[in-house]
Structure 1
Amino acid sequence: MEIVSQATFEFRHSDLFDIWLSNNRKISSVLDSIYVKISHYHVEDDKKLEINKKTSNFESFIKKRLPKCNYMVERFKSKHTEWMSSSISVTINENCNTQQKPGRRTLSYGNAGPRLKRKLASELANEKEHNTTLLMHAAAVSAKKDCNTNVASALKEMITTPAQYPTELRKQDQIQKPTPLTPNEALAYILENSLTKQQYVNTRILNINHHSDIYPSYNQVIEAKMQCRPKGIEVTETTAQVSLQNLLNHSAERIIQMQKDVFKQSLDSSVVKLICSYGFDGSTGQSAYKQKFEVKTHDVQVSDQSLFVTSVIPIKMIDSFQRNIWVNRTPQSILFCRPLKIEFIKETSEHIRMEKNQLDNQIELRSLNKEMGIVRIGTLEWNPQGRRKVGRPKANLAPIYHTP
């Protein structure tokens, strides 16, 4: 016994338009959405042609009128509200038997497994007499219709140069791609080689022209450089200085950021201690320029012939179990010297003692910082002997940092 059934499906243009937009404007996605809803019915070939024609008209309407709206979706929807409210109607006549036909249902290529896919591809190749060029050309046309331009261009190139193109692809895979520099690495490269801004920009442009874009933009380098600068820097006509607390905070934060991998391996410790040393140094005989400073120090006219520097050097960072998180292997290197104060003044024993007393006052006043949890432990010893080593501490300043 046979039962004749009829089903009518309505597909609103607005819904199909949203599907078309969300799937990279591919008409194949619209067809798939229609066939999914009518998958329970047997669709004859003539009905498939009708559905394909309606969807083709749907796509032609959009491609013809969307450019006139400057590719603005909202303007297109508001201008063609009547068309958006209409729909595509699909009516299917189905002769259903009361008894279901035995056997497996037919699967499409997309829903098939690897074995069935090989079988379907083999049947298609046998049908086209294993004409490789024809099958590749058909695949390129299908990829272009599906808006897959990368696959289409690759297939087209393989058709035109079948012997050279695969070899070129293998060569490109074997070539190791250059690794881009991080902004911090680029900043280190500029400082170590004393490059100017224009020299760095010219080097970057040269690499880009040779398809090796490894250098970040100079703006990114400037941002990385600003992150290396502590907060609260005060600059006057003769002095540039920063508070000891800000310098220690910034130094510890940068070391913690640099040693993230080490902290991941030391999850059992939540407190780290940064050990630093401080000292003084002076330089005379600098070039004197014909300029007069308005500021006087101890009723003495300031001159740029002498320079005096107070600096802090991080020695190492340890955790609560006395394990090394970070160690300064070259503590005498200028790369690890953290200037605390730079001023135009001659180095004298009196000025060294005065600067040391001011620094000790900062240590005593800022021995407890509630915001960062920094605590000073131990004492500082000062060795006043020697000339160039004057002010070098024997013991270390050890602030404690509580890590989250």
Structure 2
Amino acid sequence: MDLDRPDCQGPSGVKLVTRRNMFDRMQALGLPSLEEKLNSLKDQILSCDNFTEDQIESFKASFARFKSQTKQRWVKAHKKEDVFLKYNQSWLEGTIEIPVVIQKRPGRPPKMFEESSERTKRRKTEEIRASLAKEFIIHAAQVELRKSGKRDASDILKEITTSSPLRATKYKKAFSETKTKEPTQLAPLEALSMFVEADLTRRQYKVIRNTNKKFFPCYSLLQKEKQKCYPPTEECNVTNSSAESNLQALVDLTVMRLSTYLNEVLITLREEEKDSLKVICKWGCDGSQQCQFKQTFENDADSGANIFQSCFVPLRLVCGKEGKNIVWENPTPSSPRYCRPIRFRFVKESTDVTQEEIEYINKSIQGLQPTRVNLQEKELLVRHVFIMTMVDGKVCNAATGTKSTSKCYICGATSKEFN
């Protein structure tokens, strides 16, 4: 039996061969077992290297069904050929699809109209353009675009062909500008603002950046921009049990960052307003307990079980007489977003520690100098006002020398006197 000659016509790329033809070819192989015959027959059919992947997958699926049915019927016939042929005549008349190599016709293969070159398109539409006026062709194109769901394209075609002659030129110019304009990358400062606002982790930002690497800057640029938000390293003092930043450097950095953000607003101020700029800040100190880790200190008396911290928060940038004109105001004054830590120490909160911290901060505030800001070749001076309002009852008692918690730290009266 010859499998190269189909028993009947099949779809394109396959030929239909009867199961009897396949069985006779398999028996002619002379192999000892049915399994070996079936596998050898499949290998012979797939020996052609010109089959496509789809043809191979389709044939493997159909041959698997043929193999399973043949083995079941062969066992049922007690592995005797005459019995198998006697009881499976109708089944053997069925067909199985065998892949064939499609012979390409000589010459250039035909192309779809949209895939043709501009010259071929002109040649194919030459007869239509010669027999019909342009109004008919334009109207037909509008109708076909609308029928295919492209309503916007149909409306634009109608607009540029029926309106003023310059309308098409304006459309072309606007499209060329949008096409040539490349999307600009997000500035590192803007990306850092998004990073902080969304409370992202480093991994989350990298996942977002992978969606559009041309728009989002790399994380290393965000790290460099974040370093600009810290005071200079030489202005910071870190020991085994404490860390502090020079208040002057911290305030100067805060004012410089604000002036960069408010540059356009500061330019519009009058001269007398520029000379009366003042930043108002609140500050305070407090202590708390924390879990004590197995951290060794140089001094055995030190411990990480308690921490005492002082910090400040900028509230407003004002100008004008008595500071009535508000240039900038903290949108979240109670949030830690704008909090600037001045100093923290691993010490337990007490009256002596609180008074020492208040005296230290007040001394630093008294030594503050106005911050110099360069604006359009002119130097502005921004003065600083610190108000101690970030306090609790214990800090107030320590600051005013009130030893009893039942007394008012303002007037010293007890609850009995109030009643």
Q: TM-score range by the shorter chain?
A: 0.3 to 0.5
Query: Which one has the largest radius of gyration?
Result: 2
TM-score (normalised: structure 2): 0.45
Higher relative contact order (CA 8 A, sep 6+): 1
TM-score normalised over the length of structure 1:
0.47
